[in-house]
Structure 1
C-alpha cells in the first residue's frame, strides 16, 4: 500500500483520510449473505480502496468487519455475517492492511512473534468527524502456515446515552450507587463497553453532583469528546488511560487512580487476580468501580470472578467481593424480529443487604447456585430492596412483545419460561 497509515492514526488533524469520500451505504442480499463493498474489485487493494471498503461496511450497518488471509472480508450486520467481496484477500494484502491500521511496519513482525495486538484505528471523514475502530490482530493458520486475522469493531461517532442502550430509570439508579462495584458481563460483541460508556456519559452530564472519573481501557473505545467539548452543564471531568500505551496493566491503572482522588473508576475488563484485587481495594475505600467480564449468566459471572482467587485467599477475597458488589448484569444482543437491528436482553441482580447476608451464610462453592435461585426469584423474592430478572423471563417478554424471533427465544430459554406455548 502506498501510504504509511499515520494519517489514519489521527496525527494529521482534520484532513480527510483519502478513500473515505467514495464510501456509501449499499444494499445487502439477506438470502445469499452477500454485500458488494466495492463497485469494482481490484486485483490488489490499495490503502484508499481499503478505507472505502471499510467505511462502506460501516455506512451499510456493519458493527464488525473480519479480515483474514485467503478469505473474503466478512462484515457483520445485525448479528449476521456477509461476504463482502467475490475474491479472497491475499496474505500480502492483509499484512499491508495491518501495517495501515497499526500505524507501523512492525505490525506483521509482532504477529509473527506470537503477540496479540489490541489497538484503535481512526479515519478522518469528509464531514470533519472521526470514525474510530477497536482492532484486534491475531495470528492464525494460513496457506503457508502463518496468517493474520483482523477484527475491526466500528465505534459510534456519538457517545452512547442511556436511551440508545435502552437502560431505564430503575436500572440507572441500581447501577449508580455511591460506592462499590458494578459488573457488566457478556460475550464479545454483546455491548458491554457501550453500556458502560452510556453510564459514564450519565455521570459526566450530572450537573448536581459533578464527578472525577478515571477510565482505564484496552484500547480506548469512546473518547467522550462530544460530551466534554460542551462548555455548558456539568463540571465533571474524565481522564483516560490506555493499557499498553499509558499504563502497563489494568491493575497498575487502578493503583494509579487511587492517588488521583477520583469518585469513579472504570476498569475495562476484570480478567485476572491483580485487576480484581485492585478493583476491590478501590471499591472498599469508598470509590465506585465499573468493570466488565465475560460470562453468559449472572451465576457464571460470579463463578468466573471467584475462580481468579488463589485457593489460600479465596474465602477472604470472596468476602470482599460480595461486600463490594452492588449490581451484576449480563447482557446479550439478539437480532430483532424484523432483522433491522438488535435488542439487548439483560439478566441482573441487585446485591442488597439480604443478598449479601444469604451468600455469606453458605459456602462459596454454593454461591453460583444461590445466585441462579435469586435471579429466578426462587429465594429472596420478597426482598423490599431487591431487583432481579432472569435471562429466560426477559427473553420471553421480548418474544411476546414481538421484539425477537421464536428462534432466539428458544435459544435463550424464553419459550420454557412461558411453558413452551408457542
Structure 2
C-alpha cells in the first residue's frame, strides 16, 4: 500500500469501516495512488496497469488517483482518453480511449440508475453528486455533470466530475480577510459572488457559510439550496461548540423542483440566511430579490468576468417590460458584489484567487439611481476602478488591475496571465446591455 494511501487511512476494499455508519470502503479505492504529471507529454496516467476492458474498480481507482494527484476535475468522454485537470492544466489520464460502452458503464454507476442514457438521449442535462466511501466513515464527494455530445455513433456523452474537498473550507483557505468577511455579512440584502466555471465561487461561498455557522455571538438558521449539494458542512456542524446555528440543505431535482421554488419555500421557514446556489434565470433572481427585500440575507453566485459584467448580466436577465422596476429592486437590495478568478501561481504549485469587488453603499446607489439603466455597468466599472473624490468611510472597492499588478510585483503570477486576464475583462466590460 502506498504512503499516500496510508496517510488517507484507506483500507482494502471490503473491509468493514466504523461501526457508527456500517459502510464498506468502495472497491477499487485501495489501488489508488498519487501520480506525478508529465508536463511535457501532458500525461498523468492514473492506472498502473490499464485493462483491455475498463471495470468499475478501474474507474474508481482512476478517480481516487486523480484526487490524490491534486486534480480538481476529471473529464470522461465517449471514445476519448479521460482527462484530469491538475492545477489548471489538462493531462491525459489513460493511455487508450474509453469506448462508448465503457463510458456508459461509468454513467450508470455514478448516476445510480440504468435510465441515465435514456435521460441524456432525451436531451436532458444531468447534474448530480457521487460519493466514494473511504475508511473511518470518510467520503470523497464529486459534483457531476453529464451531457450528450456528438460521438462516433452520433450519441456520445461527456461526464465532468469536480472533486469536492472533504473538509469545508474556512476563510483562511480561500484567502478572505476579516474586513472582506464583514462586508460579506450585512444584516440583510443580496450578496453576489461571481466568476467563471471553476473559479472557486462555490468554495468561497462555503467558507462564508462556515463562518456564519461557527459564529457564537450571532447564531443563524441557514437554508441552503444547491444543484447539486457540494459541501454538506457535516464536519462543521458535528463539531460546533457554543454555537446554536443550524443549516438545512435542499438539492434541486432531488428535494425541490427549482431554485425559485426553494427560495419561496425558505420564506416560510423563518431563516436568517438563504443560500441560492446559482442565480441563472429570471425566476430565481426575482425570488432572491423578494427574499432580500423582506429582511433576509441572501447569498448567490452567477457567471461574470468583472463587477461591471455581473451587473450587465443580471440586468439582461430581466424582460424588457419589467427591467426598470426589477433593476431598482436589484440596486436597492444589493449589498456586495465580488467577482473571482483563479490564476496559476508563478512562485509555487497551485492557483491563487484574484478578486474584484464593490460594496454598494447609499452613495453608490444614489449615483446609479440618478442615471439611465443602460449606463449602470459603466458607472459600476468606474466605481471599481477609480478613487471617488466624495468617498465615504463605508465605501469599499478593489479592481482586478490593482490586485493583479500587486500579485505580479510580488512574483505570485506571471505577466502573461496578468495581461490575459486584463484582456478578458476588457472584452466582458465592453458588452452592451442586450435589448429585449
For the superposition of Structure 1 and Structure 2, which TM-score range results when normalised by the shorter chain? Answer: over 0.9
Aligned 8 A contact 2:128 2:145 in 1:
yes
- Which of 182, 190, 203 lines up with 1:173 in the alignment? 182
CA distance in 1: counterparts of 2:186 and 2:22, whole angstroms: 39
CA distance in 2: counterparts of 1:347 and 1:231, whole angstroms: 32
Aligned 8 A contact 1:78 1:339 in 2:
no
CA distance in 2: counterparts of 1:157 and 1:380, whole angstroms: 46
Give the structure-2-normalised TM-score. 0.91
1:251 and 2:260 equivalent?
Answer: yes
Give the structure-1-normalised TM-score. 0.94
- Identify the residue that residue 319 of structure 2 maps to in structure 1: 310
Q: How does 1:7-406 map to 2 (within 5 A)?
A: 13-338=22-347, 340-377=349-386, 379=388, 382-406=391-415
CA distance in 1: counterparts of 2:118 and 2:22, whole angstroms: 28
Aligned 8 A contact 1:392 1:412 in 2:
no
Could you say what secondary structure the match of 1:296 adopts?
Answer: coil
* Alpha-carbon spacing, 1:380–1:138, altered in 2? closer, same or farther (3 Å): farther
Say what the alpha-carbon RMSD is for the aligned residues.
Answer: 1.5
CA distance in 2: counterparts of 1:272 and 1:122, whole angstroms: 29
Following superposition, the deviation at residue 385 of structure 1 comes to 1.2
CA distance in 2: counterparts of 1:16 and 1:373, whole angstroms: 54
Of 386-395 and 274-283, more deviation after overlay is shown by: 386-395
CA distance in 1: counterparts of 2:141 and 2:248, whole angstroms: 19
* Alpha-carbon spacing, 1:339–1:115, altered in 2? closer, same or farther (3 Å): farther
CA distance in 2: counterparts of 1:380 and 1:225, whole angstroms: 47
* Alpha-carbon spacing, 1:380–1:103, altered in 2? closer, same or farther (3 Å): farther
* Alpha-carbon spacing, 1:130–1:362, altered in 2? closer, same or farther (3 Å): same
Could you say what secondary structure the match of 1:104 adopts?
Answer: coil
CA distance in 2: counterparts of 1:82 and 1:339, whole angstroms: 19
CA distance in 1: counterparts of 2:388 and 2:380, whole angstroms: 9
CA distance in 2: counterparts of 1:221 and 1:61, whole angstroms: 18
- Identify the residue that residue 7 of structure 1 maps to in structure 2: none
CA distance in 2: counterparts of 1:121 and 1:380, whole angstroms: 52
CA distance in 2: counterparts of 1:383 and 1:256, whole angstroms: 38
CA distance in 2: counterparts of 1:111 and 1:161, whole angstroms: 36
Could you say what secondary structure the match of 2:322 adopts?
Answer: helix
Following superposition, the deviation at residue 379 of structure 1 comes to 4.0
